[in-house]
Structure 1
Amino acid sequence: MNQNLSSYRIFYTVANAGNISKAAKQLYISQPAISKSIQKLEETLGCKLFSRSSRGVILTEEGALIYTHVKEAFETLDIGEEKLRRSLELGMGHLKIGVSSTLCKSMLMPYLKAFIENNPHISISINCQSTNETLDLLDDNKVDIGLVGKPNNLRNIEFYPIAKIKDIFVAKPEYLKNLSERGIPKEKYLSNSTLMLLNKNNFSRQYINEYLRINHIDTSESIEITSLDLLTDFAKIGVGIACVIKNFVKTELENNELVEVPCDFKIPQREVGLVYRSNIKHSKALDEFISFCKTSHSENFKI
């Protein structure tokens, strides 16, 4: 475009008004300034845009042609401005969240349900990945916020804890009964069973690996499974002993579908929380979500 937007705005206003004097009043500029702008635009385009009449000015054939496109452009701008105005008034925005499928189902969903009810004009995108992958997406600005297990190195991110979780080993009662009948003492159950763990890239697996190593629990023959839900399901049908998060198998423990396996070492609780970049400007939608989660958490929001 050889002319700046203001020249076309003047042309557009004059064409609509059909009179330079009226256009000058609408634009709050002088008539000579308008005439000079139109003249410069005509010189650049190489044609006359207006012809004078007794009532003012009318578009030439060439002027009518360029007017069609200028009109469409300014109407598009007007639509854009209106959408922006409505977005600001309604609190519209887009929020990209990274979270594992397990934490999404068991922890994020209650927050999201209440948040969406209060902020229906904010659209949500969910990227279900592991904690490690979510942290990478956060680094690459591909998600705005994540729900993860607390990382060892916070780098340049903020971590706001919302819950504590506990890793335990579970099995079907009949599976443990079978081990007992074979004369295996309780403290040796883990070493003499089919052990089912999340895959090595999973943050939860990496967290318990050190405790398994210190206590000489061999994992070389363990079954690796990609999701906590599948671990739970396999344990429920008696495949072996699974390492799961106690918070997420409460129903199975209460119904005695699964029982906690006794072991002679303790795995400390760990924190789960929100992670977000501290060194970039946040969108309004992100700030709204962070504020909502912190307020909900401080009011003992049930998860």
Structure 2
Amino acid sequence: MEQNLSLYHVFLSVAQSGNISHAAKLLYISQPAVSKAITNLEENLKTTLFVRSSRGVKLTEEGSILYEHVKKAFDLLTMGEERLQRIRELGIGHLRIGVSSTLCKYLLLPYLNVFVKENPHIKITIESQSSYHTIKQLENHTLDIGLVAKPSSSKAFHFYSLGEIEDIFVATPGYLDNLMLREKAYDIFSSANIMLLDKENVSRKYIDDYFKENSIEPKHILEVSNMDLLIEFAKTGLGIACVIRDFVTEELKQGTLVQIPLQIPVNKREVGFAYAKSAFLSNSILKFIKFTQKRS
């Protein structure tokens, strides 16, 4: 069939015009070339497609059957071309982003608010999950881009930073006062309720490494599924929470929460957008990358 594709185009023009010379003008080729193409197609299909006369050509029964299928095929091709043109003109596309619920709320949403307004025809799918799962999906090409803490091994990824974040420990003044009343001399990690994200979270792994490096062994750990709950539990006075400083600036300013001083502060870490070096970059992802780099 592949060798007949150009012949089918000629066939369609002749069938629709009913005249070989008219078809030749439409196709911008010579009349003998059109006649030769029809003859070749008839020989390939081993059937007569047209009845010739001095007034033009007319489809045979077999030719009419073929015409129905060829017309549908070329109509579908035209529809495909028109759809592609509409996609280019409107910027239609699909963007799949992986991000933790915390980074989504505090970092991603401000970008999306502007990007969606500038690109209303790009469908956005958000996979709200841990950075660990986002990295895995980027490796498997089931996500286009992820907002994550900088991967420890970045050989497989392009990563551009949005800046550093700092993990700190906070509590209400009331909780600390009561802790001091209960225990005159205390070490927060052995005496207090230490509230951390669950073990699947990359932030938790980072804090566990901090504890190990500094020989810290918390006695009472309360695991929480997301940063928002950590902050709310801390504000309720349930214990000391490990949170990201940028996410509690108002609480620290108002005195609702206070930062616990540490002998050795937790090192700051980078967060940013990552995408696989081996991934195909669609127009949608290229637009998003350019947009975020311009605004970061």
How far apart are residue 106 of structure 1 and its match?
A: 0.8
How far apart are residue 204 of structure 1 and its match?
A: 0.7
Are 1:251 and 2:265 matched, yes or no? no
Q: Deviations over 1:247-301 (max 9, x none)?
A: 112233344443323333211221111112335553222222122112112xxxx
How far apart are residue 19 of structure 1 and its match?
A: 0.9
Amino acid of the structure 1 residue aligned with 2:164: K
2-structure distance, mates of 1:112, 1:290: 12
Corresponding residue of 1:261: 260
Question: Cα RMSD between the aligned structures?
Answer: 2.2
How far apart are residue 108 of structure 1 and its match?
A: 0.8
How far apart are residue 103 of structure 1 and its match?
A: 0.8
Corresponding residue of 1:87: 87
Contact 1:150–1:270 (8 Å) recurs in 2? yes
Corresponding residue of 1:74: 74
Q: Deviations over 1:92-119 (max 9, x none)?
A: 3322222111111110111111112222
How far apart are residue 130 of structure 1 and its match?
A: 1.6
Which residues in structure 2 correspond to 1:201-216 (within 5 Å)?
201-216=200-215
How far apart are residue 182 of structure 1 and its match?
A: 0.8
2-structure distance, mates of 1:4, 1:238: 78
How far apart are residue 54 of structure 1 and its match?
A: 4.1
Indicate how the Cα distance of structure 1 residues 212 and 78 shifts in structure 2: closer, same or farther if over 3 A, else same. same
Contact 2:189–2:219 (8 Å) recurs in 1? no
SS at match of 1:243: strand
Indicate how the Cα distance of structure 1 residues 219 and 73 shifts in structure 2: closer, same or farther if over 3 A, else same. farther
- Equivalent pairs, count: 296
1-structure distance, mates of 2:182, 2:226: 30
Contact 2:164–2:271 (8 Å) recurs in 1? yes
2-structure distance, mates of 1:184, 1:241: 18
How far apart are residue 166 of structure 1 and its match?
A: 1.0
Q: Deviations over 1:24-45 (max 9, x none)?
A: 1222233333223323333444
Which residues in structure 2 correspond to 1:90-239 (within 5 Å)?
90-185=90-185, 188-219=187-218, 221-239=220-238
Are 1:289 and 2:288 matched, yes or no? yes
SS at match of 2:286: helix
2-structure distance, mates of 1:179, 1:283: 55
Contact 1:190–1:241 (8 Å) recurs in 2? no
Contact 1:3–1:41 (8 Å) recurs in 2? no
Identity %, equivalent residues:
50
2-structure distance, mates of 1:282, 1:87: 16
Contact 2:141–2:279 (8 Å) recurs in 1? no
Indicate how the Cα distance of structure 1 residues 184 and 45 shifts in structure 2: closer, same or farther if over 3 A, else same. farther
Q: Deviations over 1:158-215 (max 9, x none)?
A: 22111221111122332222101113446x1222112121122211111111221233
Unaligned runs of 5+ residues in structure 2 are none
Corresponding residue of 2:274: 275
Amino acid of the structure 1 residue aligned with 2:4: N
Corresponding residue of 1:58: 58
How far apart are residue 90 of structure 1 and its match?
A: 3.2
What's the TM-score, normalizing by structure 1? 0.88
2-structure distance, mates of 1:5, 1:251: 68
What's the TM-score, normalizing by structure 2? 0.90
Contact 1:197–1:231 (8 Å) recurs in 2? yes
Unaligned runs of 5+ residues in structure 1 are 298-303
2-structure distance, mates of 1:260, 1:50: 89
Corresponding residue of 1:11: 11
2-structure distance, mates of 1:16, 1:220: 85
2-structure distance, mates of 1:261, 1:77: 66
